[in-house]
């Protein structure tokens, strides 16, 4: 059976409970008189009490894939069931666009309407969705120009969306004003010819500007067309198609777009790659059929030329819908893009926030990314904290190195951008790039960024790795008890009302019945100190050789030695002598930058404060609290081949 898969005359056996378990192969080998052989059978579990469904020939046969989904539902008593609802939207891009000889004639428009009517009987609410570029109206032969007029004459039978006026790629436009001008030409044409302009949907030529995001496109869309929905095949990448996802940016919901095997150049069946047999195979249980089965919401990209010539799009969609209705119980329906977007994100709310990738890591993305942007300015070093471990001092020391360039300061968070772990991330990649000058592309410098809130941010490692997969990550660790106390004193000095109204001991010992502000502050004090937990999350994204762990106590006591080791880890040239750049300041109680002669430049007044000693009861509580976490950290560092800091040894001692 494994080596002879020439399956013909497959039937479902309605007598096998539940319905449709047994698929029979009636033409096995060369023996026409051989009894039918079941290739999918149900084991009722009468011997061991475990019900099973056994697949004897794998899942290559399309019907077996359906039965596999049914088997999951049946054996899990519905817990692993897929909904039977499937939503379909068919976009026809490039209306009015196309070379002479490839465009629609009047009879093609009549066929389009007839096909739409046939599909409406099978797909509730179905309408073709037409995207137009008005510059090319009446750019065909006389027969094709009458085809353009026939589309406009029947405009109320379709839904419509805006394409670009001249079908130009938006990422080639450097500012919003240019894009607005182009879009307004399309809008004026729509108003003059009675084309509806309220769909709140648009598609960009070649997916340009949608992802990777070109901010001027989103801004112009909202101003001119009030776009709330778009679609693309490019997020996060074109392939594999099954991993395409949606996201929301600047108030625009971006839906994943599917392909149906028809493209701009697919005009004639005789020229279809692989011939009609391949197209039919896709329709009859193959790729297109499985696409609809596996995606609750399908937005298909087609082009105007697919509906003239051999009218392959009409054949394709009518055929696959009939095949779906024949072989499955899925309920097919269509709806306007805005309604589909709402449905999609109700099903997948986890996809609302984007995950920004590096456009330079994908050849297709580089082609549709603005030429004014350059990936080389992105940081290759991240100092991720945690807070109150000496990260500001380390930032200052790194900035002294001629091979390193810090990000430009943020008006609200100073040297920290805090991009990967708060709402700044939703502002997009352009916002982040603005803090890293493109002029670095002409020098040997590399950029670095320090945000101490990154270390314990749950989403940060995944976000950082998606954008900066080759970055070096620097982590500073001190006694978690001292870090918690320092954090409390820091926010108290900055007027935090909870910290001012409660003692440190009250905060760290608060239970879950305490007021929410008190619990929140407790978590902010204690959670970053669970070092092993957070390190494991970073190690799930980055390899161990990309992470450098600094002993914060040594950074304070012997910064030059720490910086010399760090230079080697980062492979910086030239190697500089930090002993000449740093000097201990007895008034401040820590090392500062040497400026000229014996003078030093130290961090601000908020750094290096001397706090009252921690209460003994708080110290004992924190020692007990952090012992399991410190033990896990010690084991992790040993496993990674890293030295165990002296402070960690002290905290794990019995003293």
Catalytically active residues, by annotation: 388
* DSSP code of residue 502: S
The response to whether 486 counts as a known ligand-binding position is yes
609 belongs to an annotated ligand binding site: yes
Distance CA 496, CA 504 (A): 13
610 marked among binding-site residues:
yes
580 is in an annotated binding site: no
Asked if 300 and 91 count as a contact pair (C-beta separation under 8 A), the reply is yes
User: Residue 314: in which H helix or E strand, if any?
Assistant: helix 312-327
Sheet strands side by side (includes 11-12): 11-12, 23-25, 37-38
Categorise residue 557: left if φ over 0, alpha if ψ from -120 to 50, beta otherwise. Answer: alpha
Rounded distance between C-alpha atoms, residue 363 and residue 238, angstroms: 11
> Is there a binding annotation on residue 542?
no
Chain centre distance of CA 308: 37
Q: How far is CA 171 from CA 226, 374, 403, 429, in A?
A: 19, 14, 32, 14
At 441 the three-state DSSP class reads: helix
* Cα distance between residue 526 and residue 136, in whole Å: 64
Is beta strand 40-43 parallel, antiparallel or unpaired with respect to 37-38?
A: unpaired
To which residue do tokens 């708080």 refer? 618
Helices marked H in 480-530 — which ranges? 480-493, 497-501, 504-508, 516-526
Cα separation, 153 vs 538, whole angstroms: 59
* Coil vs helix vs strand at 252: strand
Rounded CA gap, 252 and 326, in Å? 37
Does 191 count as an annotated binding residue?
no
Pairwise CA distance, residues 228 & 251, whole Å: 6
Helix (H) or strand (E) holding 55: strand 52-55
Residues across the chain = 655
Half-sphere exposure of 144 (CA within 13 A, CB side): 21
Rounded to whole angstroms, the Cα distance separating 85 from 6 reads: 33
Annotated binding site for 3'-phosphoadenylyl sulfate: 486, 607-611
């Amino acid at each position: 059976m494994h080596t002879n898969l020439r399956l013909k005359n497959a039937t479902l056996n309605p007598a096998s409970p539940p319905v449709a378990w047994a698929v029979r192969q009636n033409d096995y080998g060369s023996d026409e008189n051989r009894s039918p052989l079941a290739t999918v059978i149900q084991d009722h579990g009468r011997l061991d009490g475990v019900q099973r469904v056994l697949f004897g020939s794998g899942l290559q046969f399309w019907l077996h894939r359906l039965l596999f989904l049914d088997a999951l539902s049946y054996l899990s008593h519905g817990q692993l069931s897929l909904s039977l609802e499937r939503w379909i939207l068919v976009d026809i891009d490039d209306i009015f666009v196309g070379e002479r000889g490839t465009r629609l004639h009047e009879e093609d428009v009549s066929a389009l309407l007839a096909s739409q009517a046939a599909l409406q009987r099978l797909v509730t609410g179905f309408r073709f969705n037409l995207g137009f570029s008005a510059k090319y109206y009446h750019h065909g032969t006389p027969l094709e120009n009458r085809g353009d007029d026939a589309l406009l004459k029947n405009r109320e039978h379709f839904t419509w969306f805006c394409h670009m006026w001249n079908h130009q790629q938006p990422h080639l436009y450097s500012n919003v004003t240019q894009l607005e001008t182009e879009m307004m030409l399309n809008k004026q044409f729509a108003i003059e010819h009675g084309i509806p302009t309220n769909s709140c949907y648009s598609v960009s030529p070649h997916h340009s500007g949608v992802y990777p995001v070109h901010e001027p496109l989103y801004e112009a869309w909202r101003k001119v067309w009030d776009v709330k929905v778009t679609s693309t095949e490019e997020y996060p990448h074109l392939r594999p198609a099954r991993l395409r996802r949606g996201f929301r940016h600047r108030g625009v919901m971006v839906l994943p777009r599917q392909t149906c095997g028809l493209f701009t150049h697919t005009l004639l069946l005789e020229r279809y790659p692989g011939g009609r047999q391949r197209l039919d195979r896709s329709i009859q249980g193959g790729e297109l059929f499985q696409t609809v089965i596996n995606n609750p919401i399908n937005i298909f990209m087609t082009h105007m030329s697919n509906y003239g010539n051999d009218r392959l799009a009409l054949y394709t969609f009518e055929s696959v819908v009939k095949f779906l209705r024949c072989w499955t119980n899925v309920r097919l329906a269509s709806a306007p893009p805005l309604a589909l977007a709402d449905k999609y994100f109700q099903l997948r709310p986890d996809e609302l926030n984007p995950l920004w990738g590096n456009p330079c890591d994908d050849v297709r993305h580089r082609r549709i990314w603005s030429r004014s942007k350059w990936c080389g300015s992105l940081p290759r070093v991240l100092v991720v904290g945690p807070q109150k471990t000496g990260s500001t001092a380390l930032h200052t020391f790194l900035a002294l190195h001629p091979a390193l360039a810090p990000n430009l300061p943020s008006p609200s968070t100073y040297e920290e951008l805090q991009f990967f772990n708060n709402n700044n991330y939703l502002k997009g990649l352009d916002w982040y790039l603005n803090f890293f000058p493109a002029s670095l592309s002409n020098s040997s410098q590399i950029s670095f960024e320090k945000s101490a809130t990154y270390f314990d941010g749950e989403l940060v490692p995944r976000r950082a790795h998606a954008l900066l997969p080759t970055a070096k990550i620097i982590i500073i660790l001190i006694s978690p008890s001292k870090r918690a106390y320092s954090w409390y004193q820091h926010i108290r000095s900055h007027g935090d009302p909870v910290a001012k109204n409660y003692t440190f001991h009250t905060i760290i010992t608060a239970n879950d019945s305490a007021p929410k502000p008190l619990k929140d502050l407790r978590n902010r004090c204690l959670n970053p100190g669970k070092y092993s937990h957070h390190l494991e999350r970073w190690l799930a994204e980055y390899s161990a050789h990309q992470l450098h762990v600094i002993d914060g106590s040594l950074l304070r006591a012997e910064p030059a030695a720490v910086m010399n080791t760090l230079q080697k880890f980062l492979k910086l040239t030239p190697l500089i002598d930090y002993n000449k750049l740093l000097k201990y300041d007895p008034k401040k109680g820590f090392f500062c930058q040497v400026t000229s002669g014996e003078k030093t430049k130290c961090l601000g007044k908020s750094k290096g404060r001397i706090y009252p000693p921690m209460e003994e009861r708080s110290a004992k509580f924190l020692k007990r609290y952090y012992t399991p976490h410190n033990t896990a950290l010690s084991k992790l560092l040993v496993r990674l081949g890293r030295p165990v800091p002296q402070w960690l040894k002290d905290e794990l001692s019995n003293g």
